[in-house]
């Protein structure tokens, strides 16, 4: 492996970045749902050269028991990088950085989940970075929230995440590895798109107040785009599992065991739902 | 801005706006302070009256009182059996709720580790339980046959509207089944090919649970396979056991 050298510039005279992107352009993102058979829910993300797998198990019985929370499920996130995911072999022992990312991921995802529906149980989220090319913590959150939805965990919303950084003194969206290493700063953010609540906000490097506010705005715009991709990936996964979902309906109802009829007299429905199936 | 923002039986994703105005949120949804209703799950959105709900496509088994479940005894503790019913919560069954008194002090004579039972969820709340009961409705230890596991989210579809699907399958291939809400199905068939056919039918329902006209397709598949079976080995299923006492899913 030849030692990496610092590129002469991160933004070229035409205003484009190393990989030819404009400053506010995301890398190509491919999301896929249901990639792992044994997991209750799973997702993969390719973002530029970054490739990450997310697996969700649960809600299930929590061991060891003393970690159980009486009012909600415990969200256990584990972020790991494969030894071969970076040019210099990553040591297999869990690093301080992995611990940190596991924690911030959990904190970023938890506000979106209805964990209080499963007291004493655990929801396990496992993240494996197969190939790292910058932005793994944000990509992990994006993929993990997709895997959680795939597992059928009730949630307020999917959580998209993206980093905004500063390269050659200019704000850039979705940092690549070199921009991360040789740039002047990095602000990863994750949001709940509808309310624009930030669930993850970290920073390294220094930003002026104006830069910071602009960075947040850029991040939110980027997250909203990623959110669309997430919704799309989820719908795609389930549409695929329904090859002949016909436009024709009128069939026996899926949820027979719900006694909805009790509620028809509670308030008049102004919506005329076509032929309420009997 | 009041209205409904989804098609009937549309696949919705978490956070998707479903309705606004005078609608009531039900399972699989949540509402904010302005009365907007959003989906909390990936699933099929439905409107019943003015109640909006999302039927989940995935998910673990969360016990509800009155559910029929099939479980495996994992431990005998004094006069309780600990029973695995799938999902995050282990259940317990007290001997008083299963045996007629007087019963032997060592209740492992009646049921021991590894035994499979059908039972009812007696109580379950956030603080305690679930507790099971085997009183009434033909709950019993299941001694023969097999247990098939499917996703608990698909059980309503396997039962069908008022039992339409499961009754159709029973009629067509003459099997005995107990369908537990926890995603376990006990099957007893007269011969192996019939058993395989039953498994195939249940797996097919599980895979295609969110498609329409499923009962008809399953019926067609069963007829076809049955004809094939007859053709190959002309096995005649003579037994026509009455299984009315077994069909109990409330």
What residues of A are in contact with residue B153 (Cβ under 8 Å)? Answer: 152
* CA-closest candidate to residue A191, choices A146, A166, A215, A222: A222
Domain A29-240 indexed as CATH 3.30.230.70: yes
The runs of H, that is alpha helices, within chain A are 96-109, 136-150, 177-182, 209-241
- Mutation target to probe the A interface, by most A beta carbons within 10 A, among B2, B5, B13 is B13
Whether residue B22 is contained in a domain is answered as yes
Whether residue B19 is contained in a domain is answered as yes
Maximum pairwise Cα distance, chain B: 66
Q: Which of A114, A194, A276 sits opposite B40 (nearest CB)?
A: A114
* CA-closest candidate to residue A140, choices A239, A20, A56: A56
Instruction: Give the whole-angstrom CA distance, residue B47 versus residue B55.
Output: 11
Q: Tell whether A274 is within 8 A of chain B (Cβ).
A: yes
- For helices B164-173 and B192-207, what crossing angle results, to 10°? 160
Q: Tell whether B156 is within 8 A of chain A (Cβ).
A: yes
Judge: B24–A263 Cβ closer than 8 Å, yes or no. Answer: yes
Q: Are residues B112 and B150 in the same domain?
A: no
Instruction: Give the whole-angstrom CA distance, residue B139 versus residue B211.
Output: 32
Across chain A, what does the average pLDDT equal? 85
What residues of A are in contact with residue B42 (Cβ under 8 Å)? Answer: 149-150, 152, 234, 238
Computed on alpha carbons and rounded to an integer, the radius of gyration of chain B in Å comes to 21
B201: containing domain: 146-233
Q: Are residues B220 and B200 in the same domain?
A: yes
Q: Are residues B104 and B41 in the same domain?
A: no
Q: Tell whether A6 is within 8 A of chain B (Cβ).
A: no
| ipTM of predicted complex | 0.81
Whether residue B246 is contained in a domain is answered as no
Q: Are residues B135 and B161 in the same domain?
A: no
Instruction: Give the whole-angstrom CA distance, residue A134 versus residue A101.
Output: 13
Residue A276 has pLDDT above 70, yes or no: no
Point out the least confidently predicted range of A86-90, A109-113, B233-237, B240-244.
B240-244
Phi, psi of B68 (to 5 degrees): -90, 130
Instruction: Give the whole-angstrom CA distance, residue B87 versus residue A178.
Output: 45
Instruction: Give the whole-angstrom CA distance, residue B31 versus residue B33.
Output: 7
Q: Tell whether B11 is within 8 A of chain A (Cβ).
A: yes
* CA-closest candidate to residue A60, choices A144, A125, A138: A125
Q: Are residues B159 and B86 in the same domain?
A: no
Min Cα distance B141 → chain A (Å) is: 25
Across chain B, what does the average pLDDT equal? 85
Q: Are residues B176 and B129 in the same domain?
A: no
Q: Are residues B132 and B207 in the same domain?
A: no
For A33, nearest residue in chain B (alpha carbons)? B42
Residues of B (68-127) whose Cβ lies below 8 Å from A: 87-90, 126-127
Residue B1 has pLDDT above 70, yes or no: no
Inter-residue contact B39 to B15 (CB < 8 Å): yes
Q: How confident is the model at residue A250 (pLDDT cuts 50, 70, 90)?
A: very low
Q: In this structure, what CATH number is given to the domain that contains residue B22?
A: 2.40.50.100
Q: Tell whether B146 is within 8 A of chain A (Cβ).
A: no
Q: How confident is the model at residue B161 (pLDDT cuts 50, 70, 90)?
A: confident
Inter-residue contact A71 to B125 (CB < 8 Å): no
Min Cα distance B131 → chain A (Å) is: 16
What residues of A are in contact with residue B22 (Cβ under 8 Å)? Answer: 267, 269-270
Sign of CA dihedral A162, A153, A194, A71: negative
Q: Tell whether B28 is within 8 A of chain A (Cβ).
A: yes
Instruction: Give the whole-angstrom CA distance, residue A40 versus residue A59.
Output: 9
Q: Which of B3, B51, B59 sits opposite A263 (nearest CB)?
A: B51
Judge: A245–B211 Cβ closer than 8 Å, yes or no. Answer: yes
And the tokens for B137?
């409705």
Min Cα distance A222 → chain B (Å) is: 18
Whether residue B34 is contained in a domain is answered as yes
For B63, nearest residue in chain A (alpha carbons)? A118
Q: Are residues B88 and B164 in the same domain?
A: no
Q: Are residues B39 and B17 in the same domain?
A: yes
What residues of B are in contact with residue A244 (Cβ under 8 Å)? Answer: 211
Q: Which of A242, A267, A276 sits opposite B211 (nearest CB)?
A: A242
Instruction: Give the whole-angstrom CA distance, residue A26 versus residue A14.
Output: 18
Min Cα distance A252 → chain B (Å) is: 5
Whether residue B250 is contained in a domain is answered as no
Q: Are residues B135 and B153 in the same domain?
A: no
Q: In this structure, what CATH number is given to the domain that contains residue B120?
A: 2.40.50.140
Q: How far is CA B80 from CA A41, A240, B96, B110, in A?
A: 34, 45, 9, 12
Residue with tokens 């792992």: A36
Instruction: Give the whole-angstrom CA distance, residue B177 versus residue B158.
Output: 12
**What's the number of domains chain B is made of?**
3
Q: How confident is the model at residue B249 (pLDDT cuts 50, 70, 90)?
A: very low
Higher pLDDT pick, B248 / B25: B25
Condensed to tens digits (0 to 9), the pLDDT of residues A181-217 reads: 899 999 999 999 999 999 999 999 999 999 999 999 9
Q: Which residue pairs, CB below 8 angstroms and at least 24 apart, start in A92-100? A: none
Higher pLDDT pick, B237 / A272: B237
Whether residue B247 is contained in a domain is answered as no
End-to-end CA distance of chain B: 40
pTM comes to 0.84
Q: Concatenate the DSSP letters of all residues of A211-231 into one string.
A: HHHHHHHHHHHHHHHHHHHHH
Q: Which of B27, B42, B159 sits opposite A150 (nearest CB)?
A: B42
Q: Tell whether A251 is within 8 A of chain B (Cβ).
A: yes
Q: Are residues B156 and B220 in the same domain?
A: yes
Residue B241 has pLDDT above 80, yes or no: no
Q: Tell whether B129 is within 8 A of chain A (Cβ).
A: no
Percent of chain A with pLDDT over 70: 85
Q: Are residues B20 and B51 in the same domain?
A: yes
Rounded mean pLDDT of A48-72? 93
Point out the least confidently predicted range of A125-134, A258-267, B202-211.
A258-267
Judging by beta carbons within 10 Å of its beta carbon (0-12, 13-18, 19+), is residue A277 exposed, middle or buried? middle
Judge: A244–B156 Cβ closer than 8 Å, yes or no. Answer: no
Percent of chain A with pLDDT over 90: 74
Judge: B161–A253 Cβ closer than 8 Å, yes or no. Answer: yes
The pLDDT of residue B233 is 60
């Amino acid at each position: 492996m030849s030692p990496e050298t610092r590129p002469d510039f991160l933004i070229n005279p035409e205003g484009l970045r190393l990989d030819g992107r404009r400053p506010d352009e995301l890398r190509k993102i491919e999301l896929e749902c249901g990639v792992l058979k044994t997991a209750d829910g799973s997702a993969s993300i390719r973002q530029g050269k970054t490739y990450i797998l997310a697996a969700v198990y649960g809600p299930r019985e929590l061991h060891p028991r003393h970690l159980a929370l009486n009012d909600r499920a415990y969200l256990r996130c584990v972020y790991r990088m494969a030894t071969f995911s970076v040019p210099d072999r990553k040591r297999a022992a869990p690093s301080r950085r992995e611990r940190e990312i596991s924690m911030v991921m959990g904190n970023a995802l938890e506000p979106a989940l209805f964990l209080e529906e499963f007291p004493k149980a655990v929801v396990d989220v496992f993240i494996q970075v197969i190939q790292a090319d910058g932005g793994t913590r944000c990509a992990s959150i994006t993929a993990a929230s997709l895997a959680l939805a795939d597992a059928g965990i009730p949630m307020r919303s999917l959580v998209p995440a993206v980093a905004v950084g500063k390269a050659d003194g200019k704000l850039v969206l979705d940092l690549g590895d070199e921009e991360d290493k040789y740039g002047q700063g990095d602000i990863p953010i994750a949001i709940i798109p509808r309310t624009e609540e930030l669930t993850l906000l970290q920073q390294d490097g220094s930003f002026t107040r104006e830069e910071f506010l602009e960075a947040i705005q850029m991040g939110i715009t980027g997250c909203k785009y990623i959110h669309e991709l997430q919704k799309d990936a989820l719908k795609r996964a389930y549409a695929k599992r329904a090859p002949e979902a016909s436009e024709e309906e009128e069939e026996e109802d899926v949820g027979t065991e719900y006694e909805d009829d009790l509620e028809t007299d509670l308030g008049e429905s102004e919506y005329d739902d076509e032929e309420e199936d009997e | 801005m009041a209205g409904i923002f989804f098609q009937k039986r549309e696949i919705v994703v978490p956070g998707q706006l479903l309705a606004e105005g005078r609608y009531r949120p039900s399972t699989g949804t949540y509402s904010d302070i302005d009365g907007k209703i959003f989906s909390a799950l990936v699933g099929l959105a439905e409107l019943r009256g003015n109640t909006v709900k999302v039927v989940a496509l995935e998910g673990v088994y969360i016990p509800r009182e009155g559910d029929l479940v099939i479980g495996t005894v994992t431990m005998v503790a004094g006069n309780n059996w600990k029973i695995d019913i799938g999902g995050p919560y282990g259940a317990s069954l007290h001997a008083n709720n299963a045996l007629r008194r007087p019963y032997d002090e060592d209740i492992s004579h009646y049921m021991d580790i590894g035994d499979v039972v059908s039972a009812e969820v007696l109580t379950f709340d956030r603080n305690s339980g679930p507790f099971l009961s085997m009183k009434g409705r033909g709950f019993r230890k299941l001694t023969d046959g097999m247990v098939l596991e499917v996703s608990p989210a698909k059980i309503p579809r396997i039962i069908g509207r008022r039992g339409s699907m499961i009754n159709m399958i029973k009629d067509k291939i003459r099997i005995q089944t107990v369908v537990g809400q926890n995603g376990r199905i006990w099957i007893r068939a007269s011969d192996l090919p019939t058993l395989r056919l039953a498994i195939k039918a249940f797996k097919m329902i599980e895979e295609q649970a969110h498609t329409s006209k499923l009962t008809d397709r399953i019926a067609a598949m069963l007829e076809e396979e049955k004809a094939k079976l007859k053709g190959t080995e002309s096995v005649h299923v003579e037994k026509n056991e009455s299984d009315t006492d077994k069909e109990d899913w409330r």
